[in-house]
Amino acid sequence: MTKIFNDPAEFAEEALAGFCDVHSDLVRQVSGGAVRRYRPAQPKVAVLAGGGSGHYPAFSGLIGTGLADGAVVGNIFTSPSAQQAYSVAKAAESGAGVVFTYGNYAGDVMNFGMASERLAAEGIAVENVLVTDDIASAPPSETEKRRGIAGDFTVFKVLGAAAERGDSLAEVVRLGRKANRRTRTIGSAFAGCTFPGAEAPLFSLPDGQMGLGLGIHGEPGLHDTGLPSAKELGQELVGRLLAETPESAGERIAVILNGLGATKHEELFVLWGTVAPLLRAEGYTLVMPEVGELVTSLDMAGVSLTVTWLDEELEPLWVAPAETPAYRRGNAARETGGAAVEGTSDGGASAADFDATEASRGYAATCVAAIEAARTALHEAEERLGRMDAIAGDGDHGRGMVRGVDAASAAASAALEQGAGAGDVLAAAGDAWADKAGGTSGVLWGAGLRAWGESLGNAEVPGPRELAAGVAAFANRIVQLGKAETGDKTMVDALLPFTAAFSRLVAEGTGQAAAWEEAAQAAAGAAQATAALLPLKGRARPLAEKSLGTPDPGATSLAMIFAVIGPHVTGAAVPPGPSVREPVGAQQQ
Ligand code: ADP
Ligand code: MG
């Protein structure tokens, strides 16, 4: 929905004026659109992109060295007039001819065609390069009927780079048409866009639906399907594009994963995580791929995938530098002289040499089983914990705990397999928990588990007193880091009653299994009692009043975990077999 406008009818013009003001170092507003601020030193072919507004950064955002010489700017989703095209061409032309380039739409074809006739009559050499990349818009036997969508960008880039290096008009046009013949795009829409001032989007999709084969003027997809996962979407887009691989295609491709305006970059990166490996698996080398917004459709939610099959002529033009308001491609980063670093790095240590007694390794297996029990319980409680956190917090407690315990469980199992003792297993679990969980509770659980592991060591199987010391180390670390006090309405409100009860019972000579069980009940009661408290720490504090009547999520999850790990850590449970990990998440789907 567009919120910032004056008269909706003036929107495109006002936007262009603002754009030209902010980028006045690179562009200059002229009648009908905008052109580069600086005239070329030598005559060069003027590449003029155009079409309606509503597609930023297409088309005015692409004016600059290595790309367009000017943009002809129509109203929203409306072809510019022949007069506009003519006057922009007159402003940009420097004696080597003009090429108009645009997506294949009837209005554009007519208006740019008429402007071309007028320019030609004045003796200016002029050509038109139409973009027809959208494979959903006509069958392969009628490619000339296809409309232009995000493939505009690769075609413009090739034209712009060829003109910049001084190619003749005929050569620029030949290369541009070749790029177009080797470019394919397929898109999908999730939600329609809304014109400034309009009350409803141009189309809408039922919840959970996606339109495959979108257009960039708010045209919905050509057919609707259920909303797939990112992975399925990536497979669908790649599959459809590769089915149209041009003849004589090589192994090097330019790729654009384009957002339509309301689809976040993060979503595009998630999708890229499927798209890129699929293309590489087909033997392709991805040359300077682009993921972002290059050709949008107002605030439409959707994506498109474009592939241009490069060859030895097109690749240098695709990778050539460009500097425009919305798009910069340089070689500064590569020219700094340092060597490129290969591979990814998480800064983590490699498998440590673990030093542990057999007894401690045995107890380590029990710890792994305890974490596994916590994992099962947290997966079951994920949604409930999230709802509790959403009342006054941000709703992520269930998700955070699940991420944390999943990572902890995997790390603990891996450490055990490498021969770690119990202390190292808990420390590894804690580090992984803190790394993956995020959130306040993640840091605290992670650091607490590591402290517990350090207290435990890798030699002895803990008796009641060592167990009490381990739990105390866990609690102290959490209090030291989080600085919460009893009554602040945090997990500490369940944790401290647990440690107090367990130490007391153990000191009184109660068996550790029974002591644990009784202490866990105290923690559960204390967690429940936090319902009456106002949060004084953490994210729930600003909305404290709202949280009255609901127990603290962190205290609730802590009490729950302590209840289920008891039989394991106290040795009351039967020791587990070698393979205890079940895909718990799968049961939740
Ligand atoms: P975030 O608050 O970062 O979204 P979570 O939602 O995972 O993290 O965890 C929230 C829980 O963290 C709260 O319910 C509370 O129990 C606990 N918590 C928040 N701040 C503190 C603190 N300073 N000390 C101890 N526990 C805290
Ligand atoms: Mg939270």
- pLDDT score, position 349: 45
Say which CATH number the domain at 65 has: 3.40.50.10440
- pLDDT score, position 222: 76
Whose atoms come closest to the Cα of 394: which ligand? Answer: 2
The last residue of one of the domains, among 310, 329, 348, is 329
What is the rounded distance in angstroms from the CA atom of residue 255 to the CA atom of residue 290? Answer: 6
- pLDDT score, position 589: 36
What is the share, in percent, of the chain residues with pLDDT greater than 90? 78
- Strands 285-286 and 290-292, bridge-based pairing: unpaired
Same domain, 157 and 67: yes
Same domain, 19 and 103: yes
Ligand 1 is surrounded, with C-beta below 6 A, by 389, 393-394, 396-397, 400, 439-441, 444, 482-484, 490-492, 537-539, 552-555
Output the six-digit token pair for 115: 């402007």
Catalytic residues: 217
- pLDDT score, position 311: 97
Helix axes 265-281, 230-242, angle to 10 degrees: 50
Digit-coded pLDDT (tens) for 305-364: 999 999 999 999 999 999 999 999 986 555 555 666 666 555 444 556 789 999 999 999
- pLDDT exceeds cutoff 50 at 523: yes
Task: For ligand 1, pick from 382, 403, 440 the residue to mutate: most ligand atoms within 8 Å of CB.
Answer: 440
Same domain, 215 and 101: yes
Distance 304 CA to ligand 1 centre (A): 40
Residue 366 lies in a domain: yes
Can you give the pTM of this predicted structure?
0.73
Distance 485 CA to ligand 1 centre (A): 13
- pLDDT score, position 273: 97
Distance 567 CA to ligand 2 centre (A): 29
Helix axes 464-482, 512-529, angle to 10 degrees: 30
Same domain, 312 and 412: no
Helix (H) / strand (E) containing 309: strand 301-309
Residue 585 vs residue 570, higher pLDDT: 570
Residue 131 lies in a domain: yes
Same domain, 135 and 69: yes
What is the share, in percent, of the chain residues with pLDDT greater than 70? 94
- pLDDT exceeds cutoff 90 at 152: yes
Which ligand 1 atom sits closest to the C-alpha of 558?
A: 16
Same domain, 244 and 378: no
Whose atoms come closest to the Cα of 395: which ligand? Answer: 2
Which ligand 1 atom sits closest to the C-alpha of 394?
A: 4
Same domain, 246 and 386: no
Q: Are 467 and 423 in contact (CB under 8 A)?
A: no
At 219, the pLDDT band (50, 70, 90 cuts) reads confident
Residue identifier of the C-alpha nearest atom 4 of ligand 1: 439
- pLDDT score, position 41: 87
Q: Are 538 and 524 in contact (CB under 8 A)?
A: no
- pLDDT score, position 338: 65
Of 256, 177, 270, the residue nearest 228 (C-alpha): 270
- pLDDT score, position 561: 98
Q: Are 27 and 36 in contact (CB under 8 A)?
A: yes
Q: What is the mean pLDDT of the chain?
A: 92
Which ligand 1 atom sits closest to the C-alpha of 491?
A: 16
What is the rounded distance in angstroms from the CA atom of residue 387 to the CA atom of residue 587? Answer: 20
- pLDDT score, position 581: 44
Same domain, 144 and 207: yes
At 587, the pLDDT band (50, 70, 90 cuts) reads very low
- Strands 70-76 and 290-292, bridge-based pairing: unpaired
Residue identifier of the C-alpha nearest atom 19 of ligand 1: 538
Say which CATH number the domain at 462 has: 1.25.40.340
Residue 397 lies in a domain: yes
Residue identifier of the C-alpha nearest atom 24 of ligand 1: 482
What is the rounded distance in angstroms from the CA atom of residue 93 to the CA atom of residue 295? Answer: 25
Distance 70 CA to ligand 1 centre (A): 54
Q: Position 113: which residue type? A: G
Stretch 205-228: mean pLDDT: 83
Residue identifier of the C-alpha nearest atom 20 of ligand 1: 538
Helix axes 439-456, 553-569, angle to 10 degrees: 30
Residue 143 lies in a domain: yes
Rg value, the chain, Cα: 32
Residue 571 lies in a domain: yes
Residue 280 vs residue 333, higher pLDDT: 280
Distance 401 CA to ligand 2 centre (A): 10
Residue 157 lies in a domain: yes
Residue identifier of the C-alpha nearest atom 5 of ligand 1: 397
Which residue segment(s) compose the domain that 165 sits in?
8-329
Q: Position 291: which residue type? A: V
At 296, the pLDDT band (50, 70, 90 cuts) reads very high
Of 252, 217, 25, 245, the residue nearest 102 (C-alpha): 217
Same domain, 304 and 428: no
Phi then psi for residue 49, to 5 deg, are: -95, 155
Output the six-digit token pair for 242: 């590769």
- pLDDT score, position 334: 54
Same domain, 381 and 509: yes
- pLDDT score, position 221: 75
- pLDDT exceeds cutoff 70 at 28: yes
Distance 226 CA to ligand 1 centre (A): 37
Residue 276 lies in a domain: yes
Angle of CA points 466, 471, 476, to nearest 5°: 120
- pLDDT score, position 352: 62
Instruction: Tell me how far the alpha carbon of residue 6 is from its chain's centroid.
Output: 33
Task: For ligand 1, pick from 383, 387, 480, 491 the residue to mutate: most ligand atoms within 8 Å of CB.
Answer: 491
Same domain, 482 and 553: yes
Same domain, 293 and 391: no
* Strands of the sheet with 46-53, listed across from one edge: 27-30, 33-36, 70-76, 46-53, 98-103, 126-131
What is the rounded distance in angstroms from the CA atom of residue 49 to the CA atom of residue 505? Answer: 80
Which ligand 1 atom sits closest to the C-alpha of 437?
A: 7
Whose atoms come closest to the Cα of 557: which ligand? Answer: 1
Residue 336 lies in a domain: no
Task: Give the single-character DSSP code of 202.
Answer: S
Digit-coded pLDDT (tens) for 88-111: 999 999 999 999 999 999 889 999
- Strands 301-309 and 252-259, bridge-based pairing: antiparallel
Query: For the chain, how far is it from start to end, CA to CA, in angstroms?
Result: 33
Digit-coded pLDDT (tens) for 354-405: 899 999 999 999 999 999 999 999 999 999 999 999 888 888 899 999 999 9
The last residue of one of the domains, among 284, 311, 329, is 329
Residue identifier of the C-alpha nearest atom 9 of ligand 1: 441
Whose atoms come closest to the Cα of 400: which ligand? Answer: 1
Any idea which of 73-82, 278-287, 421-430, 495-504 has the lowest mean pLDDT?
Answer: 73-82
Residue identifier of the C-alpha nearest atom 26 of ligand 1: 490
- pLDDT score, position 504: 97
Bridge partners, residue 129, by sequence = 101
Distance 376 CA to ligand 2 centre (A): 20
Distance 407 CA to ligand 2 centre (A): 18
Which ligand 1 atom sits closest to the C-alpha of 395?
A: 6
Task: For ligand 1, pick from 387, 397, 401 the residue to mutate: most ligand atoms within 8 Å of CB.
Answer: 397
Residue identifier of the C-alpha nearest atom 14 of ligand 1: 554
- pLDDT exceeds cutoff 60 at 580: no
Residue identifier of the C-alpha nearest atom 22 of ligand 1: 482
What is the rounded distance in angstroms from the CA atom of residue 270 to the CA atom of residue 261? Answer: 16
What is the rounded distance in angstroms from the CA atom of residue 382 to the CA atom of residue 476? Answer: 26
How many domains, the chain?
2
Whose atoms come closest to the Cα of 535: which ligand? Answer: 1
CB atoms within 10 A of CB 122: 11
- pLDDT score, position 348: 45
Distance 554 CA to ligand 1 centre (A): 6
Any idea which of 43-52, 176-185, 221-230 has the lowest mean pLDDT?
Answer: 221-230
